[in-house]
């Protein structure tokens, strides 16, 4: 019997010689710089069922700051009964203070749902706070236990006291593009709701596509509605969810209308615990990849950010939803 020749040695794995990055092709019609408002530690984690320790949260904030995010929303002073994941807000702030991050040059805003939350934020030494309202009556009732008008009576003293204390105040407006209970939300209704928050003194208004149904034309119509009401893009931020894969296209549409501040969540984490059709936020890494390709400056180190989201995914026990994180993972 003739001996069989030994099998050939396996070929070495192909080694990529080039680490992918977007080729920069600037668009002169778009802004040359954009502010990314990182919401991962608050909005990203609030809907996670896996318990994240306070130490991991503090490390996440530190890593995001080190990656160059100019604003990192740290937590919410909400009652633990409503959002158990964020029930350690005071302990987290103490850890951030120990690490020299609380009160540093990088703003670490906190969400305050009511006056009790504001009291806790003031006691902790917060300098930036955010409030949260709805553009629709049903969600206001479900989330805030107030009707559409009544929610303003609740938030007005919060805004007034925060402004009197010298704090910067951001206002989130949810359900700006659609509501799972009410359906389509008229542009005029959103503009009226947002203008009321700005008239109360909010420094910035973040318009939320809470269930991710917005499209390019809808973004343009909403921003045109605000402009017609006397509110320019410099007062606005956009908060897109990527439920239907429209978040990046909507970002470009908003930039064409002059918006230069966008909310995003590291790794694409997040949703809304009170609206089950609200899936993940726009991933910060996906947003940075888009902006880098357009030559738009953000100051964010994408490599460090990808590593941070990979590290966090390990703590959560599941892969990151971000396409860029998955593509660039070591």
Q: State how far the alpha carbon of 15 is from the alpha carbons of 19, 283, 319, 324, in Å.
A: 10, 28, 24, 20
Q: Is 261 a catalytic residue?
A: no
| Cβ pair 176, 222 in contact under 8 A | yes
pLDDT reported for residue 283: 96
74 vs 7, residue with greater confidence: 74
Task: Count CB atoms within 10 A of the CB of residue 25.
Answer: 8
Q: Using pLDDT thresholds of 50, 70 and 90, give the confidence band for residue 81.
A: confident
Of 119, 116, 197, nearest in space to 165 by CA: 119
**CATH class held by domain 35-328:** alpha beta
Cβ–Cβ < 8 Å for 285, 269: no
Tokens of 256: 């064409």
Report percent pLDDT > 70 for the chain.
Answer: 92
- Determine phi and psi for 71, rounding to 5 degrees: -140, 130
Rounded mean pLDDT of 243-247?
A: 95
**For range 115-134, the mean pLDDT:** 97
Mean pLDDT of the chain, nearest integer: 92
Is residue 203 within 8 A of residue 197, CB to CB? The reply is no
Predicted confidence at residue 3, as pLDDT, reads: 62
Q: What is the pLDDT of residues 141-179, one digit of tens each?
A: 988 889 999 999 999 999 999 999 999 999 999 999 999
Whether pLDDT at 330 is above 80: no
Q: Is the pLDDT of residue 256 over 90?
A: yes
Q: Which residue has the higher pLDDT, 268 or 12?
A: 268
What's the rounded mean pLDDT across residues 216-224?
98
Residue-level pLDDT at 274: 45
Checking if the pLDDT of 15 tops 80, the result is no
Whether 56 has a pLDDT exceeding 80, the answer reads yes
Segment 267-325, tens digit of pLDDT: 999 855 444 544 689 999 999 999 999 999 999 999 999 999 999 999 998 888 999 99
Q: Which of 160, 176, 261, 272 is catalytic?
A: 272
Q: What is the mean pLDDT of residues 226-241?
A: 98
Residue 273 confidence (pLDDT)? 46
Distance in angstroms (rounded) separating the CA atoms of residues 122 and 163: 12
Mean predicted confidence (pLDDT) in 236-243:
96
Could you give the residue ranges of the DSSP H alpha helices within the chain? 54-66, 89-98, 115-124, 137-144, 150-164, 187-199, 216-228, 247-256, 284-293, 302-316, 323-328
């Amino acid at each position: 019997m003739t001996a069989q020749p030994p099998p050939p040695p396996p070929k070495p794995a192909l080694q990529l010689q080039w680490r992918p990055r977007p080729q920069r092709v600037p668009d002169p019609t778009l802004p040359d710089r954009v502010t990314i408002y990182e919401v991962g530690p608050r909005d990203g984690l609030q809907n996670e069922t896996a318990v994240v320790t306070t130490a991991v949260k503090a490390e996440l904030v530190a890593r995001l700051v080190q990656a160059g995010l100019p604003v990192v929303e740290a937590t919410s002073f909400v009652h633990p009964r409503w959002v158990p994941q964020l029930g350690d807000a005071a302990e987290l702030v103490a850890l951030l203070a120990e690490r020299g991050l609380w009160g540093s040059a990088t703003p670490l805003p906190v969400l305050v749902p009511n006056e009790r939350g504001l009291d806790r934020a003031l006691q902790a030494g917060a300098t930036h706070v955010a409030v949260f309202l709805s553009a629709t009556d049903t969600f206001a009732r479900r989330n805030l236990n107030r009707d559409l008008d009544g929610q303003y009576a609740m938030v007005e003293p919060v805004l007034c006291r925060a402004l009197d204390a010298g704090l910067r105040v951001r206002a989130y407006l949810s359900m700006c593009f659609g509501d799972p209970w009410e359906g389509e939300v008229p542009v005029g209704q959103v503009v009226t709701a947002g203008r009321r928050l700005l008239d109360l003194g909010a420094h910035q208004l973040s318009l939320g596509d809470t269930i991710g149904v917005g499209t390019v034309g809808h973004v343009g119509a909403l921003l045109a509605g605000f402009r017609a009401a006397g509110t320019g893009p410099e007062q606005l931020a956009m908060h897109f969810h990527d439920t239907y894969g429209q978040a990046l296209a909507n970002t470009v549409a908003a930039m064409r209308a002059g918006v230069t501040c966008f909310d995003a969540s590291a790794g694409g984490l997040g949703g809304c615990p009170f609206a089950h059709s609200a899936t993940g936020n726009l991933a910060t890494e996906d947003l940075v990849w888009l902006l880098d390709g357009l030559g738009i400056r953000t100051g964010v180190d994408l490599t460090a950010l990808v590593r941070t989201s990979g590290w966090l995914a390990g703590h959560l026990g599941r892969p990151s939803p971000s396409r860029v994180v998955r593509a660039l993972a070591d």
